[in-house]
C-alpha cells in the first residue's frame, strides 16, 4: 500500500475524476473544533488503486454535477465509511458519485473529521456531525448555482457514514431564520436517506418526522448490521416512515460500488433509482 500526503485542494482518484469540481471547504477559515490542528491529509492507495484518507482537519465537499442535458435536479450527499478511523473514499464515495452523476443526479462526496483515528480529539456527535449538517446546508445554499431542487436533496452513508446520515435524518437540524450567515438558515434534514450497511443500528430511532429511507445490506454482514438493519426497517414501519429494505444474499460488509461487482449486490444503485422513482423524487423520464 502506497502512502502520500495530500497538500493540494483536489485529488484525482481516476480518469473520471476530471469531471468533478475542485473540493469546496465546508467552513470559511478554520473549522470549529479544529483550532490549532496542523498537518495535511494522508492518503493511502491500495494495490487495486482505491484510496483511504486520514488526518482530515479541513472538511470539504467534492461535487459531481451531471451534464445539464441529463440533470434531474435531484442531489445526494455521499458520506463514505471507515469506522470513523479513515475514509474509504473510492468505492464508498467517488465511484458512487460518478454513477449518480452519469444518471442525472448531482452528488457531493464529504470528507469529514474522524473521531476514532489514533490521538483524535474529535467526537462523532460534535465535529463529524457538524460537518455532515454543514454539508447539507451548503448544498441547499448553492442549489440554484448547481441546478438543484432544494426540495429534492438526500443523503447517503456507508457504515460509519450511515451513522451520520441517520443522525441528520432523525434530529432537529432545521435552519435558523435569524442566523447571520445565510448557509445557517438552510435545513440540514435530508428529503430522503440511503443507509447502506450503517453502523450503530440500535441508535437509529425514527419518528414520524424521519426522512424516508432506502436500506441495503448483505446477509453475510456482521449480525449487528444485518439483523440490526432489519430492526431499523421495522422501527420505521411502526413510526410510519416510508422505507424499503434490500437484504442481499451475499456481499459482506463494505461492498460499496465497484463496476466489476456483477453479483446482485452490485445492482443496488439501480434499485435506489427505482425507489426514488416510486417515491416520485425522480420521474421515469428522468431515470
Asked whether residue 286 is assigned to any structural domain, the reply reads: no
Asked whether residue 246 is assigned to any structural domain, the reply reads: yes
pLDDT (mean) for 156-161: 98
Give residue 6's pLDDT: 46
The CATH number covering residue 186 comes to 3.40.50.1820
Asked whether residue 4 is assigned to any structural domain, the reply reads: no
Asked whether residue 3 is assigned to any structural domain, the reply reads: no
Q: Which residues contact 97 (CB under 8 A, 6 or more apart)?
A: 20, 62, 64, 78, 107, 108, 109
Asked whether residue 26 is assigned to any structural domain, the reply reads: no
Taking only the tens place, the pLDDT of each residue in 248-284 is 999 999 999 999 999 999 999 999 999 999 999 998 6
Confidence of residue 13 (pLDDT cuts 50, 70, 90): very low
Give residue 286's pLDDT: 57
Asked whether residue 52 is assigned to any structural domain, the reply reads: no
Asked whether residue 25 is assigned to any structural domain, the reply reads: no
Asked whether residue 28 is assigned to any structural domain, the reply reads: no
pLDDT (mean) for 40-68: 96
Domain that holds residue 126: 59-278
Taking only the tens place, the pLDDT of each residue in 195-240 is 999 999 999 999 999 999 999 999 999 999 999 999 999 999 999 9
d(CA 185, CA 11): 31
For the chain, how long is the longest CA-to-CA vector? 50
Q: For residue 194, give the nearest of 118, 100, 104 by alpha carbon.
A: 100
Average pLDDT, the chain: 92
Taking only the tens place, the pLDDT of each residue in 104-117 is 999 999 999 999 99
Domain count, the chain: 1
Taking only the tens place, the pLDDT of each residue in 176-197 is 888 888 899 999 999 999 999 9
Q: For residue 128, give the nearest of 75, 175, 165 by alpha carbon.
A: 165
Amino acid at each position: 500500500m502506497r502512502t502520500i500526503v495530500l497538500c493540494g485542494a483536489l485529488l484525482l482518484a481516476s480518469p473520471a475524476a476530471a469531471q468533478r469540481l475542485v473540493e469546496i471547504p465546508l467552513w470559511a477559515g478554520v473549522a470549529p473544533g479544529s483550532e490549532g490542528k496542523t498537518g495535511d491529509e494522508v492518503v493511502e492507495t491500495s494495490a487495486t488503486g482505491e484510496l483511504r484518507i486520514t488526518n482530515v482537519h479541513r472538511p470539504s465537499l467534492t461535487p459531481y454535477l451531471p451534464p445539464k442535458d441529463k440533470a434531474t435536479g435531484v442531489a445526494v450527499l455521499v458520506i463514505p465509511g471507515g469506522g470513523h478511523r479513515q475514509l474509504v473514499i473510492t468505492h464508498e464515495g467517488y465511484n458512487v458519485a460518478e454513477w449518480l452523476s452519469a444518471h442525472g443526479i448531482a452528488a457531493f462526496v464529504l470528507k469529514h473529521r474522524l473521531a476514532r483515528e489514533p490521538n483524535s480529539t474529535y467526537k462523532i456527535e460534535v465535529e463529524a456531525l457538524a460537518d455532515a449538517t454543514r454539508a447539507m446546508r451548503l448544498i441547499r445554499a448553492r442549489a440554484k448555482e448547481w441546478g438543484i431542487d432544494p426540495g429534492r436533496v438526500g443523503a447517503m452513508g456507508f457504515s460509519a457514514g450511515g451513522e451520520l446520515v441517520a443522525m441528520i435524518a432523525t434530529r432537529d437540524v432545521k435552519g435558523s431564520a435569524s442566523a447571520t450567515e445565510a448557509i445557517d438558515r438552510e435545513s440540514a434534514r435530508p428529503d430522503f436517506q440511503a443507509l447502506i450497511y450503517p453502523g450503530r443500528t440500535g441508535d437509529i430511532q425514527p419518528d414520524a418526522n424521519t426522512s424516508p429511507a432506502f436500506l441495503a445490506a448483505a446477509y453475510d454482514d456482521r449480525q449487528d448490521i444485518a439483523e440490526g438493519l432489519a430492526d431499523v426497517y421495522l422501527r420505521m414501519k411502526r413510526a410510519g416512515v416510508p422505507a424499503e429494505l434490500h437484504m442481499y444474499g451475499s456481499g459482506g460488509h463494505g461492498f460499496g460500488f465497484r463496476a466489476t461487482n456483477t453479483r446482485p449486490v452490485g445492482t443496488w444503485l439501480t434499485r435506489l433509482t427505482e425507489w426514488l422513482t416510486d417515491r416520485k423524487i425522480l420521474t421515469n423520464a428522468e431515470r
